[in-house]
């Protein structure tokens, strides 16, 4: 049990820290978009890089934020029905629905890892006028998928413990 508690604490702390760091990418996205609007509409001098930069930053922000959202319980449930059940029954229901999650994340990892590695190997760049490297953004997909998988494992462990014991898992590790 001690190993599981440590695993959960490490994953939770890692996802929490990465999620908070990545959340700050919203500021550069906002600055790039405001700069583009000002340049385009007030100076009639649009940029060749702003749209692509904001798309890439938002893509990274969105995909890496998924594990953080999973940790915080920010995904949508059918709560009208779901909240009527006891916590233990909800844990059993969650254990059934986790299978769909693992299929999704498994396929995402399976397909994105070779795709991203090929991009790195080719030193891939965009075919736009600006032509930035795209491999760093493509690497965020398998990275985020692995974070999501780890966070899903912690949630599954907690749900299994609650479902089979009727108690919440205490993850505080005592020396």
| Torsions phi, psi for 133 (to 5 deg) | -65, 140
C-alpha Rg value of the chain to the nearest Å? 20
Tens-digit pLDDT profile for residues 132-160:
999 999 999 999 999 999 999 999 999 99
| More confident of the two residues 77 and 96 | 96
The answer to whether residues 169 and 150 touch, using CB atoms and an 8 Å cutoff, is: no
Q: What is the pLDDT of residue 174?
A: 56
Nearest to 152 by CA among 89, 109, 114, 88: 109
| More confident of the two residues 58 and 171 | 58
Q: Is the confidence at residue 76, as pLDDT, over 90? A: no
Tens-digit pLDDT profile for residues 39-52:
999 999 999 999 99
CA distance 21 to 64: 10
Q: Which residue has the tokens 């490490």?
A: 10
For residue 11, the surrounding DSSP H or E stretch is helix 2-23
Tens-digit pLDDT profile for residues 160-170:
999 999 888 88
Q: What is the pLDDT of residue 37?
A: 95
The answer to whether residues 45 and 126 touch, using CB atoms and an 8 Å cutoff, is: no
Residues 6 or more apart from 171 whose CB is under 8 A from it?
A: 4, 5, 8, 9, 12
CA distance 158 to 169: 6
Tens-digit pLDDT profile for residues 93-102:
889 989 999 9
Residues 6 or more apart from 172 whose CB is under 8 A from it?
A: 5
Q: What is the pLDDT of residue 79?
A: 73
CA distance 139 to 144: 9
């Amino acid at each position: 049990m001690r190993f599981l508690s440590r695993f959960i604490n490490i994953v939770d702390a890692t996802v929490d820290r990465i999620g908070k760091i990545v959340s700050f990418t919203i500021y550069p996205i906002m600055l790039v978009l405001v700069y583009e609007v000002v340049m385009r509409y007030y100076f009639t001098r649009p940029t060749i890089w702003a749209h692509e930069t904001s798309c890439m930053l938002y893509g990274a922000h969105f995909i890496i934020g998924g594990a953080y959202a999973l940790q915080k319980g920010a995904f949508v449930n059918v709560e009208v029905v779901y909240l009527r059940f006891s916590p233990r029954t909800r844990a059993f229901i969650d254990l059934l629905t986790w299978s769909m999650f693992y299929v999704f994340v498994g396929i995402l990892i399976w397909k994105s890892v070779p795709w991203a590695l090929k991009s790195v190997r080719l030193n891939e760049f965009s075919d736009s006028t600006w032509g930035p490297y795209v491999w760093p953004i493509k690497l965020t997909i398998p990275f985020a998928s692995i974070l999501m998988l780890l966070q899903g494992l912690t949630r599954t462990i907690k749900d299994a413990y609650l479902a089979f014991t009727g108690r919440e898992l205490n993850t505080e590790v005592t020396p």
